[in-house]
Chains A and B, each alone.
Chain A
Amino acid sequence: MLESFIVPLLAATVQSGTPILYATLGEILTEKGGILNLGVEGMMSMAAFVAFAVAYTTGNPWLAFICGGLAGTVMAMLHGFVCITCLGNQVVSGLALTILGVGLCNFLGTPFIGLAAPGFSKFAVPVLSSIPYLGKIFFRQDALVYFCYFIPFIFMIFMNRTRLGIAITAVGEKPGAAAAAGLKAVKLRWMALLGGGFLIGLGGAYLSLAYTHLWANGLAGGRGWIAVALVIFAFWRPGRAVFGAYLFGGVMAFQLRLQAIGTHIPSSLLLMLPYALTILVLIFSAVRGRGGNAPSHLGINIEPEG
Chain B
Amino acid sequence: MLGYRLQKRDEPWSWGAPIIVVGALVLSLGISALLLKLQGKSAVEGLFVLWQGSFGASWALEDALLKSIPIFLCALGVATAFRMQVWNIGAEGQFALGAIGATWAALNFPDLPGYLLMPLMFFSAAVFGGFWAYIPAILRLKLKVNEIISTLMLNYIAILLLEYLVFGVWKDPKSYGFPVTPEFTGGAVIGQIGDSRLHWGFVVCIGAGLGMWAFMRFTRLGFDIKVAGEGQRVAMYSRLPYGKLTILVMAISGALAGWAGCIETSAVVNRLQPSIMVGYGYTAIVVAWLARLHPLYIAISAYLLAALRVGVENMQLELQIPAAFGSIMEGLILMSVLAGQMLVTYKIRRKK
Contact = CB atoms under 8 A, between A and B. Distances in A.
Contact of B339 (A86, A101, A266, A294): A86
Contacts of B324: 102-104, 106-107, 217
B328 interface: yes
B289 interface: yes
A268 B166 CA distance: 10
Contacts of A91: 285, 289
A272 B6 CA distance: 48
Interface in B248-290: 282, 285-286, 289-290
Given A283-B143, A286-B144, A99 B150 contact: no
Interface in A272-299: 272, 275-276, 278-279, 282-283, 286-287, 291, 294
A232 B149 contact: yes
Contact of A99 (B167, B323, B327): B327
B311 interface: no
Given A102-B327, A268-B161, A282-B149, A275 B156 contact: yes
A291 B145 CA distance: 8
A269 B164 contact: yes
Interface residues of B, number: 48
A89 B331 CA distance: 14
Given A275-B156, A276-B153, A266 B338 contact: no
A151 interface: no
B148 to A, nearest CB: 6
B185 interface: no
Given A88-B339, A232-B146, A266-B164, A103 B327 contact: yes
A287 B160 contact: no
Contact of B331 (A96, A233, A266): A96
Given A232-B146, A232-B149, A271-B160, A306 B338 contact: no
A225 B139 contact: no
Interface string A223-256: 0010011001100000000000000000000000
A31 B135 CA distance: 26
Interface in B235-255: none
A110 interface: yes
Interface residues of A, number: 49
Given A86-B339, A96-B338, A279-B150, A272 B8 contact: no
A104 B148 contact: no
B340 interface: yes
A283 B342 contact: no
B164 A306 contact: no
A207 B131 CA distance: 37
Interface in B299-352: 322-332, 334-335, 338-342, 346
A88 B341 contact: yes
Contact of B334 (A81, A86, A99): A99
Contacts of B323: 106
Main secondary structure of the interface of B (DSSP, over half): helix
A133 to B, nearest CB: 31
Given A99-B330, A268-B163, A275-B157, A87 B145 contact: no
Interface in B119-170: 139, 143-146, 148-150, 152-154, 156-157, 160-161, 163-164, 167-168
A249 to B, nearest CB: 15
A125 interface: no
Contacts of B156: 272, 275
Given A82-B339, A97-B335, A268-B164, A229 B289 contact: no
Contacts of A303: 8
Main secondary structure of the interface of A (DSSP, over half): helix
Contacts of B150: 279, 282
Contacts of B154: 275, 279
B233 interface: no
A92 B342 contact: no
A95 B285 contact: yes
Interface string A108-131: 001000000000000000000000
Given A89-B289, A99-B334, A103-B330, A225 B143 contact: no
A231 to B, nearest CB: 9
A107 B328 contact: yes
Contacts of A191: none
B78 to A, nearest CB: 10
Contacts of A92: 285-286, 289-290, 334, 338
Nearest to A106: B324
A89 B82 CA distance: 13
B148 A229 contact: yes
B338 A89 contact: yes
Contacts of B161: 268, 272
Contact of A229 (B149, B160, B340): B149
Contacts of A110: 322
A286 B339 contact: no
Interface centre among B6, B322, B324, B340 (most CB of A within 10 A): B324
A103 B7 contact: no
A279 B335 contact: no
B149 A93 contact: no
B37 interface: no
B276 to A, nearest CB: 16
B217 interface: no
Given A87-B342, A88-B341, A97-B335, A232 B143 contact: no
23 contacts: A78-B335, A82-B339, A87-B346, A91-B285, A96-B335, A97-B331, A99-B327, A100-B331, A103-B324, A103-B328, A103-B330, A104-B327, A106-B324, A266-B168, A268-B163, A268-B167, A275-B157, A276-B153, A283-B143, A283-B145, A294-B146, A303-B8, A306-B8
10 residue pairs, one from A and one from B, having the closest CB atoms: A100-B331, A103-B327, A96-B334, A106-B324, A88-B338, A286-B143, A268-B164, A86-B339, A103-B328, A99-B331
Interface of B: 5-8, 35, 139, 143-146, 148-150, 152-154, 156-157, 160-161, 163-164, 167-168, 282, 285-286, 289-290, 322-332, 334-335, 338-342, 346
